[in-house]
Structure 1
Amino acid sequence: MRRGKGGIAVALFGVAVAALIGSRLIPGDATSVASAPGQTAAGPASSRPGEVGDRRGALVDQVVFAQEADLGKVANLIETGTHQLFAQGISNATVFRRLRESSKIGYSKAFGSSAELTLNPVGPRFKDGRVNPFHVPALREALNWLVDRRYVAEELYGGLAVPRTLPINTGFPDYARLADVSRALELRYSHDPERARSVISAEMERLGARRADGVWVHDGKPVRISVLIRTDDQRRRIGDYVSNLLETEGFVVERLYRAADEASRIWIAGDPADGRWHIYTGGWVSTMIQRDLSENFAYYYTPLGRPEPLWQAYAPVPELQTLAERLQKADFATLAERQRMMSRCLELAMSDSVRVWLVDVISIQPRAADVQLTSDLAGGFGGSSLWAYTLRYVDRIGGSVVVGLPALLAEPWNPVAGSNWIFDRMIMRGLTDAPLLPDPYTGLFWPQQIVGAEVTVKDDVPVVSTYDWLTVERVPEVRVPPDTWIGWSGSLSRWITVGEQHPDGLTTRARVRVRFVDGFLDRKWHDGSRFSLADMLVPWILGFDRGDPESKLFDPSYKLVFDVFRQHFKGLRIVSREPLVVEIYGDQVYPDAETMVATRTPGLAPWHTLALGMRAEEQGELAFSSAKADQAKVDWMSFVAGPSLAILDRHRAEATKSGFVPYAPTIGSLLRPGEVEERYAALARWVDLRGHYWVDNGPFYLHAANPTERSIVLRRFEEFPDRADKWLRFDEPRIPVVDLDGPMIVRQGETPRFDLCVTFRGQAYASADIERARWLLFDGRGGLRAEGDAVSSSEGCFSIALDAKVVGALGAGANTLEVAVTSIQVSLPAFGTHAFATVSR
């Protein structure tokens, strides 16, 4: 899967700092390669029994990533010890059965992947004059009734998926919060082929088409629908299923079977007005639990989502555009208002239907039985931010682990706008140490490089905190100090302060004050050089530079992201250097204060490697982003392989000779005496040893990368400051199991009682850990008739009593009582259903 929505960027506005990225070596070479400065070579033979003790950083010595796309080989490769882990989620029921039968294989489950149909809305005609039926919103909407989502989940995925109708994941908190609206819409858009056929016929005739011999004809030619079908997972079967349905409805279908790379060049990079495709079998991955899905509407349904041509062709109705923008900016006064806005957006999104959601996929994450690591409930192994901190053998410390991936080094790696492939990103996460890390089961954030934070918000801002590592204070007004940096002047090469830009003063909705760990700036990069404040501020300035049309680093593809950032950003301020305390001011808020801290805390990138890439782009030799590289007709910059390295070598030599510092008039004063010489000397030693420019600060360093053989090797960074057992507290997610029981027949006038019990592994779920147990009552026509909260009756158990008037209003017939249970231990809600009939006395 190429691109996934999800995860919180370490940088604040599009500078994907090195705090997110990785190498390679052939397994047999491990002990023959020189070590990084201050380290020893640690190959497979270095494993030893014993406790963690004083070990720092990773619990294994080496991780080898090897490309293996054939999932049919997974079980055998793990059983024979060739591989210990596969990072690609498996949704093939046959392969899963084979894994489950083996005593040598363990696995986890992840719930963050989804499959949908992406529709081409250009029209009413393509450039060549052909009519595009899916320009019509009603025709797009009709596909919701045409497809049988339960069939897709149970037959095409063999039960490794659940039906999904809406643009919010069924396993994330917002789905449970919006359960009343969600379930009503799911019932409204349930499988109804007759209704779909009626709408399709009416709309096609309105377009001027007629049906002749069972085929729709327009302008004297059959209406052909081109379905772009991904071939590398279950979406091939989805594509064939949808194509068959469309043929039944009278369309001539062209099936375009394509692998990921070729498909992306058509639907993402291509101009949808060319008419090369009508439907794409899309797939998305959330690499972490998303507690706030309010931005999904802007991302999936408006031009705000992405700069590519398809997104710029979206033309939602004004109400959806306005609400989506407001939700993206968190422009609401209360959580209740947010709920109302999201509820309305769900309705409008279904009417728009540039995407027809099909299923949320249950991905199986296979590993050797003697290997453990923390898997993210959404992103699995590949999306876990903790994999590098927790990967270990059950019976020993150290050793080497081989990880299979379907693709790696698929795109160039650079720390600004490099590869966005999910599997490349997994490796990058193992190479970096972010300021905060997400809880793999709840999506809330925990401190990693910081010791705490203070969140100060205007008293009407709807935000809550869960953990005690931060505080939330409400005040009548949040004023931004005049010495706060709010912008950057490229011509003057200096910060613009709030006092200059807003002489009458500036207020904002929120301030986040973050304190980093003591001695933070004394920590080291992988090349042995020490951190400095410049590593934090150069990426920030670069973010402004890339959004400035007057700068040589300006990138038009980044401008949209930058403009959205500028709308809510109100300033950055360094309060002190030791301890390092930083304040960030802005109007963008999130329901969870922990997320606000994570999105605002600045990450770091080594200024001396970033500087070389900046020089190369300024001189028109390379470009950080693929879009600018295409526009300038230069190579997309890579810090790890290919022709970029020779260009970076030359710029390193020139920078070393001249003592080059980016934005020197401002940054120069932040550097320690001798820092420039120290940085370039350390980088020279690093490049001589490693042959690449990927310098980071995580528990592993990039030991070697081999694009030709598609393999990467990481080695343990022995100077990592944290104990190796710091993140081992996450063992197994306590996903609740729901049992709902009650009468099957209820007479009108009665007050029936239903019993709800919540368990985990057969034991009662602690009532204190149950956030909410909500019930919804639907009549036989799918109408929501009543709702409420279940009443606690004993540990893990609740009762639901329906009022006699409510029962009487149902009339005679079938009804359904549904419950949604949310836990503070995990984000995944649990659902239960009980059908009963009401009869007259």
Structure 2
Amino acid sequence: MGSGVKATSKVTFDLTWGNWHSGQKMDMNDVLYSAYFSSEWGSPQTENDKTFDSAYSPQASQSQKTLVGIRPIDDHTIEVYVNYWHFDDSEIAEWAGVWPVMPWEIIAAMEKIVLDGKASFSRTDAQAKDLDWLSLLVPRDTSMVKEILDEFQKTKYAPEALLSFDNTSQYYDSRYESAIKWIENKNHAIISNGPFYLDNYSPEARAITVRSFNDSTYPFEAGHWGKFEKVNLPKITQINIPTQIVLGQQLEVPIRTSDVTQIYYFVSTGAGEEVDIGILDVDQNAAKITLSAAQTQKMTLGGNDLKLYAISDSVLRPDIYTTSIFAVATTQNHTETIIQNSSKTEKTENLGLVSITLGIIIIGIIVYVKKSKTHLQKQH
């Protein structure tokens, strides 16, 4: 990286190695060559640049723009520095991921084929250059990969990207030998890692056979990932906010959760101005936001906004909760407003009763007068 170079985030990976399906043990060389390849083929295109693919390079450049540097610590630990940030640390780790999915010797052989102008990495680039689209499944392309590996083995080739590391000639020879034997036995060049491998591909029958990788050195036993079968999403179950708060007084907001590790909160005025932001660790499904008197003084009269993001270490999806905080100047003013409103209501209600009573009296007088007139007429 160089002295004085800084990055937004640092991710430390403690890698657990297994075997490639070809039988070779994975190692740090696979990580470093994969990183070299992404960097070389993801760099901006220059004049007469052979390490540029019109489809792949623009995609690779997206991660390379944020990559600051990589530093191996030991044979299984590596630090990755990136100019990338996310409120969820697992998102940063995903962005900075360096886990290889293919042995470096296969990538090196493919790169040699493309640099020699025999094929292209992508369909788009192949059409533009009138070349074949390189495939590790097609027998013709697989044969080219094997030929390059044979050449590497005979010339004791060591990739320039790995020259600064302490690798013996026996190491390179064993890598090439195992890849060559794999291609001879399987008739394809797809070598990867994981619990399953591609055993056979028949283009005529359009059939692919996938088998279990029964390797005694595989680092994870059956059922190791069973805990991910049932996903418990983080949830904010309860939040207690007063119906109103007074500007300049401390505010506490208790929160209850389930399956939550941390809560990110953002408090802002109705106009969007920041009041406070913070991160709360959840202990026994509980957390509490505390705003000081100085912080509540920043709020505006009326509605203010509170947004919560509840996250979990085991699930990427957060629970999002948004609500309002109603602020008033003083408790006394609010009480007076309530009393004044009550007085007005009481006066209005009394006035209504008086009107009804007067109406009844007037109607009674009219009825009485009419009856009196009728009685007098009968006497005459």
| Alpha-carbon spacing, 1:711–1:623, altered in 2? closer, same or farther (3 Å) | same
| Alpha-carbon spacing, 1:734–1:650, altered in 2? closer, same or farther (3 Å) | closer
Aligned: 1:831 with 2:327? no
Q: Distance in 1 between matches of 2:152 and 2:298?
A: 81
Find the counterpart in structure 1 of residue 111 from structure 2. Answer: 614
Secondary structure of the 1:683 match is helix
Cα shift at 1:824: 4.4
Aligned counterpart in structure 2 of residue 603 of structure 1, from 89, 99, 105: 99
Aligned counterpart in structure 2 of residue 771 of structure 1, from 252, 263, 266: 263
Cα shift at 1:526: 0.1
In structure 1, give the amino acid aligned to 2:320: A
| Alpha-carbon spacing, 1:776–1:829, altered in 2? closer, same or farther (3 Å) | farther
Find the counterpart in structure 2 of residue 634 from structure 1. Answer: 131
Contact persistence 1:740–1:834 (CA under 8 A): no
| Alpha-carbon spacing, 1:636–1:528, altered in 2? closer, same or farther (3 Å) | same
Aligned counterpart in structure 1 of residue 142 of structure 2, from 629, 644, 648: 648
Q: Distance in 2 between matches of 1:567 and 1:784?
A: 32
| Alpha-carbon spacing, 1:626–1:757, altered in 2? closer, same or farther (3 Å) | same
| Alpha-carbon spacing, 1:709–1:806, altered in 2? closer, same or farther (3 Å) | farther
Find the counterpart in structure 1 of residue 182 from structure 2. Answer: 686
Deviations 1:536-565 (A, max 9, x none): 343344345434644533335555567676
Cα shift at 1:728: 3.6
Cα shift at 1:631: 1.8
Q: Distance in 2 between matches of 1:534 and 1:755?
A: 51
Cα shift at 1:663: 5.5
Q: Distance in 2 between matches of 1:755 and 1:570?
A: 40
In structure 2, give the amino acid aligned to 1:721: P
Aligned: 1:820 with 2:298? no
Find the counterpart in structure 1 of residue 344 from structure 2. Answer: none
Q: Distance in 2 between matches of 1:735 and 1:613?
A: 44
Cα shift at 1:637: 2.1
Q: Distance in 1 between matches of 2:111 and 2:232?
A: 43
Cα shift at 1:627: 3.2
In structure 2, give the amino acid aligned to 1:831: Y
Find the counterpart in structure 1 of residue 232 from structure 2. Answer: 733
Contact persistence 1:611–1:662 (CA under 8 A): no
Aligned counterpart in structure 1 of residue 4 of structure 2, from 502, 507, 518: 507
Q: Percent identity?
A: 16
Contact persistence 1:773–1:819 (CA under 8 A): yes
| Alpha-carbon spacing, 1:727–1:562, altered in 2? closer, same or farther (3 Å) | closer
Contact persistence 1:739–1:832 (CA under 8 A): no
Q: Distance in 2 between matches of 1:681 and 1:564?
A: 35
Deviations 1:791-828 (A, max 9, x none): 99x97487999x99999944xxxx79765352445541
Q: Distance in 1 between matches of 2:277 and 2:70?
A: 43
Output aligned runs, 1:459-478, within 5 Å: none
Larger gyration radius, structure 1 or structure 2: 2
| Alpha-carbon spacing, 1:728–1:631, altered in 2? closer, same or farther (3 Å) | same
In structure 2, give the amino acid aligned to 1:702: L
Contact persistence 2:14–2:76 (CA under 8 A): yes
| Alpha-carbon spacing, 1:758–1:776, altered in 2? closer, same or farther (3 Å) | farther
In structure 1, give the amino acid aligned to 2:19: K
Q: Distance in 1 between matches of 2:73 and 2:50?
A: 31
* Structure 1: gaps of 5 or more residues: 1-479, 481-497, 499-505
Secondary structure of the 1:630 match is helix
Contact persistence 1:822–1:830 (CA under 8 A): yes
Deviations 1:420-464 (A, max 9, x none): xxxxxxxxxxxxxxxxxxxxxxxxxxxxxxxxxxxxxxxxxxxxx
Cα shift at 1:757: 6.0
Aligned counterpart in structure 1 of residue 211 of structure 2, from 696, 703, 715: 715
Aligned length: 308
Q: Distance in 2 between matches of 1:664 and 1:615?
A: 11
Q: Distance in 2 between matches of 1:816 and 1:570?
A: 40
Contact persistence 1:613–1:648 (CA under 8 A): no
| Alpha-carbon spacing, 1:657–1:634, altered in 2? closer, same or farther (3 Å) | closer
Contact persistence 1:759–1:796 (CA under 8 A): yes
Cα shift at 1:633: 2.0
Deviations 1:505-537 (A, max 9, x none): x3211495857568x5xx421011334554334
Find the counterpart in structure 2 of residue 588 from structure 1. Answer: 83
Find the counterpart in structure 2 of residue 535 from structure 1. Answer: 30
* Structure 2: gaps of 5 or more residues: 327-333, 342-380
Q: Distance in 2 between matches of 1:758 and 1:562?
A: 43
Q: Distance in 1 between matches of 2:252 and 2:71?
A: 56
Secondary structure of the 2:198 match is strand
Secondary structure of the 2:135 match is coil
Q: Distance in 1 between matches of 2:28 and 2:289?
A: 57
| Alpha-carbon spacing, 1:614–1:824, altered in 2? closer, same or farther (3 Å) | closer
Deviations 1:39-92 (A, max 9, x none): xxxxxxxxxxxxxxxxxxxxxxxxxxxxxxxxxxxxxxxxxxxxxxxxxxxxxx
Q: Distance in 2 between matches of 1:587 and 1:594?
A: 14
Contact persistence 1:705–1:712 (CA under 8 A): yes
Secondary structure of the 1:507 match is coil
Cα shift at 1:652: 0.9
Contact persistence 1:623–1:636 (CA under 8 A): yes
In structure 2, give the amino acid aligned to 1:683: A
| Alpha-carbon spacing, 1:734–1:569, altered in 2? closer, same or farther (3 Å) | closer
Q: Distance in 2 between matches of 1:705 and 1:608?
A: 21
User: Normalized against structure 2, the TM-score is what?
Assistant: 0.58
| Alpha-carbon spacing, 1:759–1:722, altered in 2? closer, same or farther (3 Å) | closer
Output aligned runs, 1:42-81, within 5 Å: none
RMSD: 5.2
Contact persistence 1:525–1:697 (CA under 8 A): yes
In structure 2, give the amino acid aligned to 1:630: Q
Q: Distance in 1 between matches of 2:273 and 2:311?
A: 25
Contact persistence 2:66–2:84 (CA under 8 A): no
Contact persistence 2:240–2:254 (CA under 8 A): yes
Find the counterpart in structure 2 of residue 136 from structure 1. Answer: none
Secondary structure of the 1:702 match is strand
Find the counterpart in structure 1 of residue 191 from structure 2. Answer: 695
Contact persistence 2:235–2:257 (CA under 8 A): yes
Cα shift at 1:621: 2.6
| Alpha-carbon spacing, 1:670–1:773, altered in 2? closer, same or farther (3 Å) | closer
Q: Distance in 2 between matches of 1:533 and 1:742?
A: 52
Deviations 1:74-127 (A, max 9, x none): xxxxxxxxxxxxxxxxxxxxxxxxxxxxxxxxxxxxxxxxxxxxxxxxxxxxxx
| Alpha-carbon spacing, 1:552–1:588, altered in 2? closer, same or farther (3 Å) | same
Q: Distance in 2 between matches of 1:528 and 1:514?
A: 27
Q: Distance in 2 between matches of 1:718 and 1:664?
A: 31
Cα shift at 1:649: 0.8
Secondary structure of the 1:508 match is coil
Cα shift at 1:722: 2.5
Secondary structure of the 2:30 match is helix
Contact persistence 1:532–1:671 (CA under 8 A): no
Q: Distance in 1 between matches of 2:289 and 2:71?
A: 52
Cα shift at 1:733: 1.9
Q: Distance in 1 between matches of 2:65 and 2:273?
A: 42
Deviations 1:350-383 (A, max 9, x none): xxxxxxxxxxxxxxxxxxxxxxxxxxxxxxxxxx
| Alpha-carbon spacing, 1:712–1:828, altered in 2? closer, same or farther (3 Å) | farther
Contact persistence 1:509–1:587 (CA under 8 A): no
Cα shift at 1:623: 1.0
Contact persistence 1:740–1:754 (CA under 8 A): no
Contact persistence 1:738–1:830 (CA under 8 A): no
Cα shift at 1:646: 0.9
